Amino acid sequence: MLGYVKHGSGPEPVVVMHEWLGDHSNYDYVVPYFDRDHFSYMLTDLRGYGLSKQMRGQFSAAEAAADVLRLMDALGHQTFHVVGHSMSAMVAQRLAVDAPDRIRSVIAITPVPATGLKMDDDGRKRMTAVIGDDSAAKEAIAARTAKRYGEPWLNHKLAIARSAATSEAMQGYLDMITGTDFVTETVGLRTPLLAIVGEYDIPAYREDNVRNIFGRCYPNFELVVCRESGHYPMLEAPIFLAANIERFLTANPIGSVSGLRPNNVSSGGRL
C-alpha cells in the first residue's frame, strides 16, 4: 500500500501526489492553508518515494494509478479528487482515463501532459545526470525557477530531492515521462481539470504549451498562471496554490452532476 499523510477530516477526499524531485514533504508549506474541515487531503508518495520508498515496481503511469485506486479503496473512498504535480499530473490523467466514474476532478500543477515530454538524446542525458549529480540537479532546479533564487534555495530543494527517492524510482519515472503517450485516450474526457502553471517555469510547462495540449483534450479545462512562481508553486507561492486548489474543489463537489464518462472511455480502475 502506498504511504501517505492525512491532513483534515472533511467530507471531500483529495489525493495529492508529488513531482520527480520531491515527495509529500514538498507540500509542507501549503498544509497550513488547507481547509481541513471541508477536505481530507491524503499527501501520497508513489513507489520508491518518501513513505513508499521501500516499494519497487515498474514505475509506470498505469501502475501508479492502480496503486492510488487501491489506496482509496482501502480508505473507503469511492469517489475523490486528485492533485498531481509535474510527473504525477500524468498519473492523475491516467486515473481520469482508467476510472472516470471515480475521479471527480483533476488539478494538474506545472503538469507533464499525457503526451509525455519529448526529448532528444542530449536532453535525456541531462535529465539522467540529475539522478546522481548534485550540480546537474541544482542546474535543473534553477532553470525551472528562472534562476531567481540564491544558493540557500537551491540547497534546500536539493536536500528535499535527495531524501525523497531511490535512484531506481527516479530512473523509472524518468522513463515514464519521456516514454509514455496516451493523449488520444484523454480526448473528450469530461472530468473537470485545472492546470496551474508558473510564469517562471521552462517552456515545456508554461501557459502556451499547456493550454495547447490540455485545451484540445479536456472540454472542462481551466488554466491559472501563478505570476510568482516557476515549477514549484507549493514552495514558491503556497497561499496562492492552496487558494486555487480549494476554489476549484469547491466548484466541483463530489455528488454533483458532471457527466464524467465520454463514450470512448470505459469505467473502472486497474487493481
The answer to the question of residue 34 being in a domain is yes
Q: Any bridge partners for residue 41, and if so which?
A: 7, 14
Write down the residue that cell numbers 501508479 correspond to: 64
The answer to the question of residue 270 being in a domain is no
Domain ranges, residue 46: 4-251
- Residuewise pLDDT in 10s, the chain (271 residues): 999 999 999 999 999 999 999 999 999 999 999 999 999 999 999 999 999 999 999 999 999 999 999 999 999 999 999 999 999 999 999 999 999 999 999 999 999 999 999 999 999 999 999 999 999 999 999 999 999 999 999 999 999 999 999 999 999 999 999 999 999 999 999 999 999 999 999 999 999 999 999 999 999 999 999 999 999 999 999 999 999 999 999 999 998 755 444 433 332 222 2
Alpha-carbon dihedral sign for residues 208, 214, 216, 220: negative
The answer to the question of residue 262 being in a domain is no
Tell me the backbone φ, ψ of residue 196, rounded to 5 degrees: -115, 120
**Total of domains in the chain:** 1
- The residues, any chain, with a CB within 8 Å of residue 143's CB and separated by 6 or more, are 202
Give the pLDDT confidence score for residue 255 in this predicted structure.
84
Report yes or no: 102 and 71 within 8 Å, Cβ to Cβ.
Answer: no
Q: Determine how β-strand 221-226 pairs with β-strand 103-109.
A: unpaired
Give the pLDDT confidence score for residue 204 in this predicted structure.
96
Give the pLDDT confidence score for residue 257 in this predicted structure.
53
Of 40, 51, 27, the closest CA to residue 79 belongs to 40
The answer to the question of residue 121 being in a domain is yes
User: Could you report the per-residue pLDDT of 237-267, keeping only the tens digit for each?
Assistant: 999 999 999 999 999 999 875 544 443 333 2
Report yes or no: 112 and 119 within 8 Å, Cβ to Cβ.
Answer: no
The answer to the question of residue 147 being in a domain is yes
Give the pLDDT confidence score for residue 187 in this predicted structure.
97
The answer to the question of residue 258 being in a domain is no
Domain with residue 229: its CATH number is 3.40.50.1820
Task: State the alpha helices, DSSP H only, in the chain.
Answer: 61-75, 87-98, 121-130, 134-143, 151-164, 167-179, 183-186, 207-215, 233-236, 238-251
| Residue 145 burial by Cβ neighbours in a 10 Å radius (0-12, 13-18, 19+) | buried
- The residues, any chain, with a CB within 8 Å of residue 6's CB and separated by 6 or more, are 40, 41, 42, 43
Alpha-carbon dihedral sign for residues 17, 161, 231, 156: positive
The answer to the question of residue 94 being in a domain is yes
Distance between CA atoms of 265 and 51, rounded to whole angstroms? 32
Report yes or no: 47 and 55 within 8 Å, Cβ to Cβ.
Answer: yes
The answer to the question of residue 268 being in a domain is no
Give the pLDDT confidence score for residue 256 in this predicted structure.
74
